[in-house]
Amino acid sequence: MMDQNRVPILEGLEKIRRNRLVPFDVPGHKRGKGNPELTQFLGEACLSVDVNSMKPLDNLCHPVSVIKEAEALAAEAFGAANAFFMVGGTTSAVQSMILSTVKRGDKIILPRNVHQSVIHALVLCGAVPVYINPQTDKRLGIALGMSMTDVKNTIAAHPEAKAILVNNPTYYGICSDLRSIVEVAHAAGLLVLADEAHGTHFYFGKDMPISAMKAGADMAAVSMHKSGGSLTQSSLLLCGSNVNENYVRKMINLTQTTSGSYLLLSSLDISRRNLALRGVEIFEKVKRFSEYAREEINAIGDYYAYSKELINGDSVYDFDTTKLSVNTLKLGLAGIEVYDLLRDEYEIQIEFGDLGNILAYISVGDKNKNIERLISALSEIRRLYKRENIKLWESEYISPVVAMSPQDAFYADKVSLPLEQCAGRICAEFVMCYPPGIPILAPGECVTKELIGYIQYAKEKGCTLTGPESMDVTSLNVLKGE
């Protein structure tokens, strides 16, 4: 057992600060002295440890001392064989996980409601996705988890597949039967990868859905900066005992910066210690906040803050009760409209709003008065803005038709056409609402009239659409001559 009270990177940084080294290295602000406005904004304590890799502080690309020890402490805390500190967000962790597992022409099984980073990785490496289109909840209009029947049938139909990826959980808190997926996949010789961007707390909370490492998955990308409390853009890549850690490190170094931020690295180290020592207490508080808010919001009327009642033993095997996901359709308002009202009229910033739902991210940083303010605002929005439920788009997910691999389509000869003229063509770029960043269209998928209508509706309701070269999403890149 390692001493989880230790914070090796923080200890190294504090030693450097005490020694008062004279910097003749980068960054050029020289501990903040060269940029007083930045120092005033961020603080001298912050700028004094915004330093470059040096022998006493180790090197993220090839760690041998304090970073190596910090990663070992994280691996033990998360129940993994190895942990890698990532400073490019969970996007970099997801992409490194996939690049370490599949190459051009290899097949990887995954649900279509994946984050854009997954399909971006396929563009980079040339692997071919085999999608399992998730079941949907018609009342909520959201995609659910992976059905075990679909998983088994897909593995049987594609015996040459190398890996399967699972969302654990989805943005809305839906969990698949990860342990059973691992058993079936391993029996067929597949590696199991988990996108746990929203599942850090599964490793430390009590009575939580199962974590990827405990379920026996081979790799997991974990967003420490979400529910784990570290700085934005800091993340972890966890690996099981049968994964070649040296090869994974080599793949990480293909895309991750050689100038790792010690602000991000130290935040991972400090947050790991906090979770290892106090995680159960922290997430019990988060669950209490979430459950109280859920009960109060459901008592308002018309809103539906959903929870474990969705569990069906298959496509919803478990539910993350820390997620305050709320359906707004009975209110006559799209989720994005409630999102905008909360921010613009009540000065409350929630995580996201889509076409039928909102998500308020609750963490240990919340206070009772903030929870009450959110509940009161939602009650007042219902009183002031409720309208007849007409012309609302009721499904958040449309199953795509895949015509070719993302890499082939992304790099193919293409032409830009007005959006309304793209029906029947093959898309050559991404279109997504952000957040959550799940592609509406990805390269290699067929553009349909339904998808065009969805995009136009999302624009009309105020969703932030990203991905296309056309910044206002009035046109789309499609393959030439299709």
Per domain, the residue ranges of the chain are: 8-276, 406-479
Say how far apart CA 117 and CA 169 lie, in whole Å. Answer: 16
- DSSP string of 151-217, one letter each residue: HHHHHHH-TT--EEEEESS-TTSEE--HHHHHHHHHHTT-EEEEEETT-GGGGTSTTPPPPHHHHT-
Q: Give residue-wise pLDDT tens across range 79-134.
A: 999 999 999 999 999 999 999 999 999 999 999 899 999 999 999 999 999 999 88
Sheet containing 304-305: order of strands: 304-305, 323-327, 357-361, 352-353
Q: Which residues pair with 359 in a beta bridge?
A: 325, 352
353 neighbors 343 (Cβ within 8 angstroms): no
Cα 274–276–282 angle (5° rounding)? 60
Token pair for 383: 């009183």
Which CATH number is associated with domain 406-479?
Answer: 3.90.105.10
In tens digits, the chain (482 residues) has pLDDT values of: 899 999 999 999 999 988 888 889 999 999 999 999 999 999 999 999 999 999 999 999 999 999 999 999 999 999 999 999 999 999 999 999 999 999 999 999 999 899 999 999 999 999 999 999 888 898 898 999 999 999 999 999 999 999 999 999 999 999 999 999 999 999 999 999 999 999 999 999 999 999 999 999 999 999 999 999 999 999 999 999 999 999 999 999 999 999 999 999 999 999 999 999 999 999 999 999 999 999 999 999 999 999 999 999 999 999 999 999 999 999 999 999 999 999 999 999 999 999 899 999 999 889 999 999 999 999 999 999 999 876 777 666 788 889 999 999 999 999 999 999 999 999 999 999 887 888 999 999 999 999 999 999 889 888 889 999 999 999 999 999 75
Say how far apart CA 93 and CA 80 lie, in whole Å. Answer: 15
Q: Which helix (H) or strand (E) holds 132?
A: strand 128-132
CB-neighbour burial class of residue 28 (10 A; exposed 0-12, middle 13-18, buried 19+): exposed
Q: Tell me, what's the pLDDT at 277?
A: 97
Q: How far is CA 363 from the centre of its chain?
A: 16
Q: Which residues pair with 193 in a beta bridge?
A: 165, 219
**CATH domain 8-276 topology:** Aspartate Aminotransferase; domain 2 (3.40.640)
